[in-house]
Chain A
Amino acid sequence: AQTVTQSQPEMSVQEAETVTLSCTYDTSESDYYLFWYKQPPSRQMILVIRQEAYKQQNATENRFSVNFQKAAKSFSLKISDSQLGDAAMYFCAMGRVRGGATNKLIFGTGTLLAVQP
């Protein structure tokens, strides 16, 4: 069975500092995507970053970057220069690359990030 585990229910960071959110996963698939989604209080699900498992280079999107360790099945999210607007629930998720139009995602339980001014 495929699983995604987020072991940090809550995290806190000072504004302008750096924080890392952890995620581990388990799958028997050889080709898959990993995602980080942000859910602010508005409830909207916002894609933060995506990593293809076959790519060794870690994905980056502005202040957001990942540390993808395929052998360890670890996929952490680093947020640099944290801003008040980064405060949200963050979900790690895993999905298939070639699903034949089937795109079922497995989600972790989420990490609630607070940003202190």
Chain B
Amino acid sequence: NAGVTQTPKFQVLKTGQSMTLQCAQDMNHEYMSWYRQDPGMGLRLIHYSVGAGITDQGEVPNGYNVSRSTTEDFPLRLLSAAPSQTSVYFCASSSYTGTYNSPLHFGNGTRLTVT
């Protein structure tokens, strides 16, 4: 059981380049989300999705796009990379039983550097 898989693990971009961070989960979770982790700031929510075809913004959505065409996949797109987007990115998923949220399952993160 792979859980939440993120690719790539590391990426270096030049300012203005675009790229997509991939996230896939094999647990049939309805909820998926993207966080960024910056020193001294903890993890902050970028975008989230409660199911295929449904996405919404989190706390820091500017400069990022998401889509959810399948239950399994939730890619994060950087449209025009900026040095301020240098960060570690985490994808996470969870299920909802109809009563309670399960704990978040995290991927292993992608370290992105924008020069």
Contacts and interface: CB of A to CB of B under 8 A. Distances in A.
A98 B103 contact: no
Nearest to B101: A103
Contacts of A95: 101, 104
A45 interface: yes
B74 interface: no
A93 B103 CA distance: 11
B43 A107 contact: yes
Interface stretch (B15-23, B45-53, B62-70, B75-83): B45-53
Interface residues of A, number: 27
A98 B44 contact: no
A110 B88 contact: no
- Chain B residues touching A, range: 20 to 34
B104 A98 contact: no
A43 B108 contact: yes
Interface string A87-113: 000010101111111111101111000
A44 interface: yes
Contacts of B40: 9, 109
Contacts of A45: 90, 92, 104, 106, 109
A93 B45 CA distance: 12
Contacts of A110: 42
B88 to A, nearest CB: 7
Interface of A: 4, 9, 33, 35, 42-45, 47, 50, 91, 93, 95-105, 107-110
Given A4-B42, A107-B44, 8 more contacts: A42-B108, A45-B104, A45-B106, A47-B104, A97-B101, A99-B101, A101-B50, A108-B42
10 contacts: A33-B101, A43-B88, A45-B109, A98-B100, A101-B30, A102-B50, A103-B101, A103-B102, A105-B45, A107-B35
